[in-house]
Structure 1
Amino acid sequence: MGVLTKITTNIYSIGAFAAIAGIMFGFDIGSNSGVIGTIQYQDYFNRPDALLQGGINGALSAGCFVGALFAGYPADRFSRKFTLIGASALFVVGSVFQAASNGVPLLCVGRVLNGLSVGVTSMVVPLYQSEVAPKEIRGRLVAIQQWAITWGIFISFWIQYGTQFIQSTAAFRIPWAIQGVPALILCAGMWAFPHSPRWLADKGRMDDALRVLADIHGSGDKSHPRVLLEMEEIEATIHFDKNIASHRYADLLKPGMAYRVSLGVCLQIWQQLTGMNIIMFYVVFLFKQAGIGDSQEATLVSSGVSYVVNVVMTIPAILFVDKWGRRPTLIFGALSMSIFLWAVGGVLATGTWYTDNNGEWLVDLASKTKANGVVACVYLFVASFATTWGPLGWIYPAEIYPLRVRAMAISLSTASNWLFNWILNFVVPLMMQRLHYGLYLLFAAFNFLMALHVFIAYPETKGYTLEEMDIVFEHNPRKKIPREVLEKWVEEKGLRRAEAAGSDSVNDKKAELANEEAV
């Protein structure tokens, strides 16, 4: 029992287990992106045209949009933990429907249910992770969510690669059924993990909140200086929220808060406009269009390597995102992706475009070197996204809002992510056929614009507690705020009260904590 307690109160265990929800989402992406290029799928579903295939893929994103938009209420009302449990159970049902589908309608129903689940979890998991994490590793912990997504994509794609040799509908039913396994694990295991201490405090359960904080940040010691400092901040913030502020959706439109909301919404929209959806959902079609691989198997292998790159290159983000900072990582990533997409579009523009017997547009590059250049640039693009915008798209919105509106604001930003995800999944197949190489030039331009937007508008949030974000946005710094400015603001706002149990003064606790961190 003691071993289980240590596991369920370890901060990395908590973040990693909650991130299983990311594996659920990744499984759905990976299995579907591989399946749609197989003969078995094409024959059984009567070779869906670009419009219908966009609708099938978009069914997931449509469900995600609705799930994310309404996830704020259950996350606030029933807790982050119980919301994750309910969403994972729904994902199991959706996976069963997909695996048992006898046509496009039932397949779409299953994908919508899975989408509702993913929409909820994609909003709640970063919220939960950010609220349990200490500020020093908050970015790293939330980045695990993105890494889990990449693992889900990677594993499910190669499961699908293996099942393609089955000459029956099992070739796509097995991958769709297996994607329910991580949802079962999350549903069963999440019961053992703690509630968010900030949610507990917001509900007036201060003793429970203190106990959870002590377990996850103080090795069970309720008088640990870090625990006392964090508890004071949370109590003061909640006191302010309850007595001065409010919890209404209208608060999101107030001048100062509307700016923060716009940053979270725009960042999530920009993440979709990086062009990564083209790679994740349609990399098989892209490589087929460019004539890469002389068989279905060769095309799938080339496509699958991009998923390996995605997994491996997310690791640097997990290790260093809290050292690099949010702003430079986002700017560098956007500029890198822009360069590689310009290169892909430029190479494809040199080829001769034609239609095959099925009416699909393909390109003859007339050179193996050019084809290899396209593959290399795609892999470099994926690496750039995985190290930067992949994890930061979830980290930044999860840390910039005050507790009273955090769930509602993250719900709104995540819903905007899924709205654009749905739009892109619906239109990209058509755009690939009609814009040809222009599609990649369009997304290259988007990446340049997002780098410019981050440089102009986004403050640095690395190294601050969630309760200190108000001063970050008061000063809107492009670099770290001096500690003396923070201390002065904290005293003026009264976010910390002197004299706390187990310590003579706040200064004593700060000194004790500083010494502990130095060691």
Structure 2
Amino acid sequence: MKYSARIASNPYVVGSFACIGGGLFGLDISSMSGVLSNQYYLNQFHHPGSGAQGAIVASMPAGSFIGALAVTQLADRMGRKPTIILAGLIWVIGSILQCASVNRGMLVAGRIISGISVGLSSAVVPIYQSEITAPSIRGRIVSLQQWSITWGILIQYFIQFGCSYIQGVASFRIPWGLQMIPAIILSFGMLFFPESPRWLFDQGREGEALQVLADLHGRGDKSDELVVLEYEEIKEQVIFERNEGAKSYLDLLKPGNPRRVFLGCALQMWSQLSGMNVMMYYIVYVFQGAGLTGVRGNLIADSVQYVLNVALTVPAILYIDKWGRRPMLLAGTLLMGFWLFLVGGLQGRFGHWGIVNGAQIWVVENNDAATKAIIVSSYLFVCSFAITMGPVSWTYPAELFPLKIRGKAVSLATATNWLFNFSLAYAVPPGLNSIAWKTYFIFGTFNFAAFVHIFFMYPETVGRSLEEVEEIFQQGHVFTAWAIDKNVGKKTLHDLVGGKPKRSESVDEEEKEKA
């Protein structure tokens, strides 16, 4: 019992376990991309055209949009932990409907319900993670959300690949049924983990909040200096926000809030307009257009992309708190824009309209060099996203907002993610079917526009407590984000979270000088 209690009080274990909620999103992405060339799937659902297939895929982010907005009430009223548990249960229901679906309507209904689960978990998990971790590891823990998404994509895709050898509808029903297992583990496992200390304090449960902080950051010692400082800082912030904080959505428009709400929503928008999820959902179409038309060869090439997505997210998790948010976002948007323009240029130069598997698509044929260059560029695009924009797009919004509006503001930002995810999932198949290679130029341009926006308006938040971020936005650098004073918000708490107070180090140096 003591061992299990220590596990449940480890911030790394608590934060990483909650990431299973992010993995549900990944499971959904490859649950569709893996069946786009499955003949049994196509026969069962009457060979959906580009518009119908776009609607089927987009039904999940449509549900996610609803779920993300629901977090504004659930996370603040029920708590972070119960909301995560609820998300897992809803996912199980959606998975059952998808697995048993016999027509498009039933499949879409199942995907909408699963989407509600993903919307809930994708909004509340980063909030929960950011509120149970110290600033020194917060970026690393929250970025695990993105890594869990990549693992969900990879695992489900290989299940799809293995089941593709099965003759019959079981080839796609089995993967859709198995995806409920992680959700069951999530809902059951979260019963043994603590509630967010910040939420507990906001509910008047100060004693429980202090105990959770002591368990997570002080090995159970309530008198630990770091625990006491963090407790007092949360106390001051909560008391202030009870008097000045949000009472409704309109409070998101109070002075000091709109800019941060805009930044959080815009970053989630740019993460979708980067084209990453398009490359995940419709990678089969992308590689078909590149000239890789064999079903098995296409599936193997797709799996390489998913493996790279998992592997290249690891450096971002390890170094996100060293590299900083701004440098990662700026480098990522430039690189992604470059690779997308290269893919579009190669397809435009060497491709033509042709018939593949009975459908007309823009395809590169009899040009191995161009085909390989397009595939490699797609791989490099995914790597660029995985090591930069992917983790930061979840970490940054969770750091921006004060406690009283955090639930509403983060869910609104996440809802923006799903709104654009829905729009793109629906629009891309018809886009590839009509303007073909020009589609990549559109997404490449979005990335360059994101670079300009981030350069001028996104301040650095790395290494600061959630309360210290407040001071960053009081400087007034709206269009000169690079000019933010790096020392703003650097308090004793921040000095302590690394384990050794800088104040003590300076005292040691003074003593050495005197000696």
1:311 aligned residue: 310
How far apart are 1:480 and its partner, in Å?
Answer: 6.3
Distance 1:512 1:141 in 2: 21
How many angstroms apart in 1 are the aligned matches of 2:428 and 2:116? 22
Partner Cα separation in structure 1 for residue 430 and residue 157 of structure 2: 23
- CA contact under 8 A between 1:291 and 1:362: conserved in structure 2? no
- What's 1:392 paired with? 392
- Corresponding residue for residue 93 of structure 1: 93
What are the residue-to-residue correspondences of 1:218-237 with 2, within 5 Å? 218-237=218-237
Q: Deviations over 1:91-136 (max 9, x none)?
A: 0010010000011111111100000000000000001001111001
Whole-angstrom distance in 2 between the partners of 1:318 and 1:268 = 18
Is the 1:309–1:383 Cα contact (8 Å) retained in structure 2? yes
RMSD (Å) for aligned C-alpha atoms: 2.1
The whole-number CA distance in structure 2 between the counterparts of 1:101 and 1:416 is 29
CA deviation digits over 1:231-274, x for unaligned, max 9? 11100011101123343211111242101100001000000000
Matches within 5 A, 1:267-416: 267-293=267-293, 295-356=294-355, 358-416=358-416
d(CA) in 2 for partners of 1:423, 1:310: 23
Give the TM-score normalised by structure 1. Answer: 0.93
- Which segments of 5 or more consecutive residues in structure 1 lack a partner in the other structure? 497-505
Task: Trace 1:86-485 onto structure 2 (pairs within 5 A).
Answer: 86-293=86-293, 295-356=294-355, 358-475=358-475, 476=477, 477-478=481-482, 481-483=485-487, 485=488
Q: Please report how far the alpha carbon of residue 342 of structure 1 lies from its aligned counterpart in structure 2 after TM superposition.
A: 0.8
Distance 1:452 1:71 in 2: 31
Does the 8 Å contact 1:97/1:110 carry over to 2?
yes
The CA distance in 2 between the partners of 1:127 and 1:198, in whole Å, is 10
Letter in 1 for 2:388: T
Q: Distance in 1 between matches of 2:497 and 2:13?
A: 27
Q: How many residue pairs are counted as aligned between the two chains?
A: 502
For residues 18-43 of structure 1, the C-alpha deviation after alignment (integer angstroms, 9 at most, x for no partner) is 00111111111112110122111111
TM-superposed CA distance for 1:511, in Å, is 11
Deviations 1:382-404 (CA, angstroms, capped at 9, x unpaired):
00000111111110001100001
Distance, in Å, in 1 between the alignment partners of 2:496 and 2:441 is 57
Q: Are the aligned partners of 2:126 and 2:395 in contact in 1 as well (CA < 8 Å)? A: yes
Matches of 2:505 and 2:290 in 1, distance apart? 53
| TM-score when normalising by structure 2 | 0.94
How far has the Cα of 1:486 moved from its partner?
Answer: 3.5
Deviation at 1:481, TM superposition (A): 3.2
Matching of residues 9-24 of structure 1 within 5 Å: 9-24=9-24
Q: Residues 35 and 482 of structure 1: is their aligned pair in 2 closer, same or farther, counting only changes over 3 Å?
A: closer
Question: Contact (CA 8 Å) 2:496, 2:502: kept in 1 or not?
Answer: no
CA–CA distance in 2 between the matches of 1:334 and 1:166? 40
Aligned equivalents of 1:39, 1:509: Cα separation in 2: 55
- Kindly indicate whether the alpha-carbon contact (under 8 Å) linking 1:31 and 1:176 is maintained by their aligned counterparts in 2: yes
Q: Tell me if the contact between 1:261 and 1:413 (Cα under 8 Å) persists in the aligned partners.
A: yes
CA distance in 1: counterparts of 2:161 and 2:500, whole angstroms? 55
Pair 1:160–1:516, CA change in 2 (3 A): farther
Question: Structure 1 residues 461 and 445, CA, compared in 2 at 3 Å: closer, same or farther?
Answer: same
Q: Once structures 1 and 2 are overlaid, which stretch shifts more, 21-30 or 141-150? A: 21-30
Instruction: Decide whether the 8 Å contact of 2:226 with 2:496 is kept in 1.
Output: no
% identical equivalent positions: 44
Q: Is the 8 A contact 1:131 1:196 kept in 2?
A: yes
